[in-house]
Structure 1
Amino acid sequence: MNYVHPVRDPDQIAEMKKYLMKKSERDYMLFVTGINSGLRISDLLPLRVRDAKKTYFDLREKKTQKQKRIQMTPGLRRELKKYIEGKDDDEYLFKSREGLNKPISRSMAYKILREAADYVGLDGVGTHTLRKTFGYHLYKKYKDVALLMEIFNHSDENITLRYIGINQDSMDKALNDFKI
């Protein structure tokens, strides 16, 4: 399994959003929902329209089987409200074009994200990039590793910091500034 990175640069996030919106509203919303919720792709894909009508996502995580309640950001709520207008409650949020009412596959989600990453010249991007990008930017804004540990269900601060790439940033900066 390849190691994926968060999208650190807000300008690249904006460019990816623009690219995805031109391509498909569904693909754009997958990206926006992922980077604003911190949910794993396995928890994003099964979401239905009814799940987006609340102010939070209430779900049982596939990986841990733990019940989670994730508050939506105001911006995500606004975007989702527009996106779900006129859609049936049972419809998947990220509906596949194949079949009657199926979510896109994990591999399709990967393809969507890789295409957008290639467009902005990013390497090391996969479906987990959404979650890591959320964590990276939440940490940069609030510097609250305990909060992220709770959201991500990690047992140690160092795991969380390594996971979102903060340790790598620190090492890169130290080596860039180092001279003998």
Structure 2
Amino acid sequence: MKFVQPIRDKRKIEAMKKVLKSESVRDYALFVLGINSGLRISDLLALSVDDVTTETGNIKERITLKENKTGKTKDFPIGTSAHKALKEYLDTSSLETTSPLFLSRKGTKAIRREQAYRILNNAARTVGIKDKIGTHTLRKTFAYHAYKSGYDLSMIQKLLNHSAPSVTLRYIGITQEEMDDVYLTLNL
């Protein structure tokens, strides 16, 4: 697996949303839910419609799932951006409640990881992102922006199920240059 980067520039995130939405509301919803949940791609692609909707067809307030990699239960609220993207997607689709949420156009299964990679990579190149981008970029983008927004590193570590803060810093791509900047700009 190649080492991929988070999308650090919020303008590039917005540009990717526009590109994805213009091509496919499904792909847009995948991207928005991914960068707002921190889920691994395997967990995103395993979601079904009934994982995110109530019996009456409304978007749930929370998603509860068992992580494929860890086997741990993850329960988190659906934020405003993800809620809007999911609603728009589901309002324009004719998916059954038991269907995969991100259904392939070719059948009855979810899109595959490789297709998700192509979708994200093409959108990234279209908006001029030159960093290595992959499906894991969604999770890293979530963590990077949580960190940059001032959320405690130990909280982000817990959300990602990492073993140590150093793992989380390396994971989200905090560079030595950024750490050095603390010394150079604090000047108390």
TM over 0.5: yes
Aligned AA (1:128): H
How far residue 173 of structure 1 moved from its aligned partner, in angstroms, is 5.3
- State the SS of the aligned residue for 2:175: helix
| Structure 1: distance between partners of 2:86 and 2:9 | 24
TM-score (structure 1 length as normaliser)? 0.90
Q: CA RMSD in A?
A: 1.9
For structure 1, which runs of at least 5 residues remain unmatched after alignment?
none
Which residue of structure 1 lines up, in the alignment, with residue 126 of structure 2?
Answer: 119
Q: How many residues align?
A: 175
Aligned AA (1:130): L
2:110 counterpart (87, 103, 106): 103
Which residue of structure 1 lines up, in the alignment, with residue 173 of structure 2?
Answer: 165
Which residue of structure 1 lines up, in the alignment, with residue 30 of structure 2?
Answer: 30
Residue 84 in 1 paired to residue 90 in 2?
Answer: yes
Q: Deviations over 1:94-140 (max 9, x none)?
A: 110112x2100000000001101111222210000000000011111
Whether the 8 Å contact between 2:147 and 2:153 is mirrored in structure 1 is yes
Which residue of structure 2 lines up, in the alignment, with residue 144 of structure 1?
Answer: 152
Whether the 8 Å contact between 2:4 and 2:133 is mirrored in structure 1 is yes
How far residue 167 of structure 1 moved from its aligned partner, in angstroms, is 3.2
Whether the 8 Å contact between 1:41 and 1:127 is mirrored in structure 2 is yes
Whether the 8 Å contact between 1:50 and 1:89 is mirrored in structure 2 is yes
For structure 2, which runs of at least 5 residues remain unmatched after alignment?
54-59
Aligned AA (2:11): D
| Structure 1: distance between partners of 2:95 and 2:124 | 29
Residue 70 in 1 paired to residue 76 in 2?
Answer: yes
TM-score (structure 2 length as normaliser)? 0.86
Q: Please, which moves more after superposition, 162-171 or 67-76?
A: 162-171
Whether the 8 Å contact between 2:32 and 2:81 is mirrored in structure 1 is no
Whether the 8 Å contact between 2:7 and 2:13 is mirrored in structure 1 is yes
How far residue 168 of structure 1 moved from its aligned partner, in angstroms, is 4.9
Whether the 8 Å contact between 1:57 and 1:71 is mirrored in structure 2 is yes
- State the SS of the aligned residue for 1:3: coil
Identity among equivalent positions (%) equals: 49
- State the SS of the aligned residue for 1:110: helix
- State the SS of the aligned residue for 1:70: strand
Residue 9 in 1 paired to residue 17 in 2?
Answer: no
